[in-house]
Each structure stands twice: as C-alpha cells, then as structure tokens.
Structure 1
C-alpha cells in the first residue's frame, strides 16, 4: 500500500503545480502587467468621476444599476460632447440633476421597481481604483453620483470628464491610452476647495511626484499564495 502512495503522491503534486501555473498564467492574461499610478495632486482638480450606486448587491439590483448606467451615460454624453472645460462640465451636470433623476426613475419603473433616486455633484473620498491601465490614488474627487434606493450595493464608475465613459460591450476594455495626456491638458479649477477637504486631500495624497509602476503579476501570485 505504501508503495502505491509513494507512486501516486508525486503525480498529485505535479498536477497541482501545473494547475497552479495555469491559474497564474490565466490571471496574468486578464490584467495588464504594468499599471501606471497617477499622481493625486496632478489630477484631483482636473476631472469629474461618475458613479452609479446600486440599491444592494443582489443580482437583480446590480443588473438594474447597469441599465440605469447605460441610459444615463447615453443621455449625458450628448450634453457633454462639446464641453472643453471643467467649469462648463460642472454647470452642465448641475443643471441636469433633475433630468438625470427622471431618466433613472423611468428605467427603474420600466423594470418594475419603485426605488427612489438621489443624484448629486459632490466631493467624495474614494479608495484606489484601477481604470484601464491607470491607478487613481485614494483621495477626494468631484463626482456625479446617481444613488439608487438605499445605495448599499457596489457601484459602477468611470471618468465622466474628460469624457471616457464606455458602456458598449465592444469596449469592455477601457481605452485609456490618452487619459494622462487629456487630464494634464485640462486647466485646474479656479475655485477653492474647502479647508476640510484640502486637509483630507493632503492626508491621502502621495508625497512622490511623477509616475509609479505596479507589477500586477506579483499581486496575482500573492493572492494565490495567501
């Protein structure tokens, strides 16, 4: 019996190792090997994020969130198409809060739900987020948020200004090749952020300048070993 065990055990270990290598390779294919981390101080006052927050994390509520997202992005893209400054984008979004609320409510009603919708343009603190090939550092960003119902579910987000929101299935990989250049070309806001927000920004911003590189494959391997 022991002879069989000594014979079979190496085979089992070999299979496990090969499967582990395959998993690593698959994960490596799913992610870019290098992610460029943007400098928080360089971008914090030059963009507007867009977030749609689901009522909950049930499959039904998450699917509803995506339907609301599709319709809102479609309609807002039409209004932001010729907008070239951050201030102008803010004005357009602020003026269309009620319009977006009605769009979202219509989608919700069509799908037989009765959730309320709360849409706002505000500064919010967000964790590190990967967008295409870029990492947006944790910090306070201006965001146009559509909150469905209790807003306790996972959110979907994109960069609304400059306009980089893609919802077409053919563009499920974000085309962020020109993102850094587009953001750098935007003039920062002239208005001052409140002292409280500034203090939070300073706490969450990175001390280094320029660009940092992260090797995603290392994170993948670490996740497998943990």
Structure 2
C-alpha cells in the first residue's frame, strides 16, 4: 500500500512539472490551446461537409466532395480582402458548388441529392490541429449530402485555412493563429491556456483510466 501511495505522489509531481498535461494509456499529451469565442466568432466562416451516413463508402464520398470543392474555392477565397467579401463569394457561387458536389457524387456511382447553406449554427467544442474552437454559434457554410446523417468534416473557410497536406488531416496551428490575427486586425489575447488556471487550483482531476492504472478497478 505504501508503494502505491508513493507512486501516486510521484506521478502528481511529474504532471505538475510538465504543465498539467493529460495522462492516458501510458502516454502524456499536452493540452490543446483554447481560442476565445468572443475574439473569433465574428471573424471566421466555418466549412462543413456532412456525409449521407457513417458507412465507409459515404465517408469516403464526403472526402471526395470536400477535395473538389476546396480545389474550386481556394484561389478565390485567398483573394477575398475581408469577411464580407468572402461571404458574398460563397453566396454567389452556392449553385456552382452544389453542382460540383453533385458531379462528384454521380462520378462515384451515387444519386444522393445535395443542398448547401450559409447560416449560423451552434457547434460543440471542436479541435482543429492543437487548437480548440469553443462551443457556440458560428457562421458556417455547410454542404449536406443525401440524408446528412453521417459525421462531418470541417475546417475554417475564411480566413482560408482549408489548405493542408494531401491527407487533408494535418493543420498548422501557428498558421491558424497568424491568419485569424491578420483577419481581425487586433486580437487582444486569442489564446487562453487553461493550464495556467489549473495551477492555482488545489485539486487535480485525473482521467478514470489513470485511476484504474494506479488502484485497479474495484468494481471487478
């Protein structure tokens, strides 16, 4: 028992020394930086592509639609000087984007209908690279494929941050911060570090998996 208690305090000390990182499954993960909702909500347009379903085929189709649409809008959005100009471009090209999506769907042997809309929607917390876009209502351009009951892929459409590597999965968080800052002109502090606040708290919360590793599952 004494050995377990000693091990427990050693791990606490290690976590404090590493900036209150999260421990899970034998690995230590640095916490993500959380953007301040009020600083970004009126400075970005999100882009979401929602698949017909969660089947592997529908999810792959969603990514093909995403690639073709991004290929079309990327250069034009790069030329937009501000949010209003980007919004006008999206509205004016809505039917063209839908046609592009429909063509991709037909090329792949499906007959799903496509709808799209630029609207304000409420989204949960979303991780983008190593940044957290907090829960809230954001302006977003959404492409809905078929029943739109599958998982969605998303990025920041303006400032144009949908330009990533060939897998469309990796993002450069420094580039995100820089471009959002450029768009806003001045963001006082668009990054808050929850870890700084946690240092002032006396209690440290551990994931249930971590507790199980130390003490075992008593319910067994």
**Which residue is equivalent to 1:71?**
68
Offset of residue 172 of structure 1: 3.3
RMSD: 2.6
TM-score of the superposition, structure 1-length normalised? 0.71
2:193 to 201, 212, 217: 212
**Which residue is equivalent to 2:7?**
none
The DSSP-based 3-state class of the residue aligned with 1:103 is helix
Whose helix fraction is larger, Structure 1's or Structure 2's? 1
* Distance (whole Å) between structure 2 residues aligned to residue 91 and residue 169 of structure 1: 28
**Which residue is equivalent to 1:224?**
209
* Distance (whole Å) between structure 2 residues aligned to residue 186 and residue 209 of structure 1: 12
The DSSP-based 3-state class of the residue aligned with 1:81 is helix
**Which residue is equivalent to 1:36?**
33
Q: Does 1:163 align with 2:165?
A: no
Offset of residue 179 of structure 1: 1.9
Instruction: Go from structure 1 to structure 2 and tell me whether the alpha carbon gap of 1:53 and 1:170 turns closer, same or farther (over 3 Å shift).
Output: closer
Offset of residue 214 of structure 1: 5.2
Q: Does 1:147 align with 2:144?
A: yes
Q: Does 1:89 align with 2:86?
A: yes
Q: For the Cα contact (< 8 Å) 1:36–1:214, is it kept in 2?
A: no
User: Could you list the runs of 5+ residues in structure 2 that have no partner in the other structure?
Assistant: 1-22, 197-203, 213-220
Offset of residue 132 of structure 1: 1.1
Output one character per residue of 1:73-113: Cα deviation in whole Å (capped at 9) or x when no partner.
11110221211200000000111100000000000000100
1:24 to 26, 32, 44: 26
Output one character per residue of 1:25-47: Cα deviation in whole Å (capped at 9) or x when no partner.
2xx4xx5x131111101100000
**Which residue is equivalent to 1:195?**
none
* Distance (whole Å) between structure 2 residues aligned to residue 162 and residue 174 of structure 1: 14
* Distance (whole Å) between structure 2 residues aligned to residue 95 and residue 118 of structure 1: 15
Offset of residue 140 of structure 1: 0.4
The DSSP-based 3-state class of the residue aligned with 2:161 is coil
Q: For the Cα contact (< 8 Å) 1:122–1:144, is it kept in 2?
A: yes
* Distance (whole Å) between structure 1 residues aligned to residue 106 and residue 190 of structure 2: 48
User: Could you list the runs of 5+ residues in structure 1 that have no partner in the other structure?
Assistant: 1-20, 189-207
2:111 to 109, 114, 123: 114
Instruction: Go from structure 1 to structure 2 and tell me whether the alpha carbon gap of 1:132 and 1:214 turns closer, same or farther (over 3 Å shift).
Output: farther
* Distance (whole Å) between structure 1 residues aligned to residue 58 and residue 168 of structure 2: 23
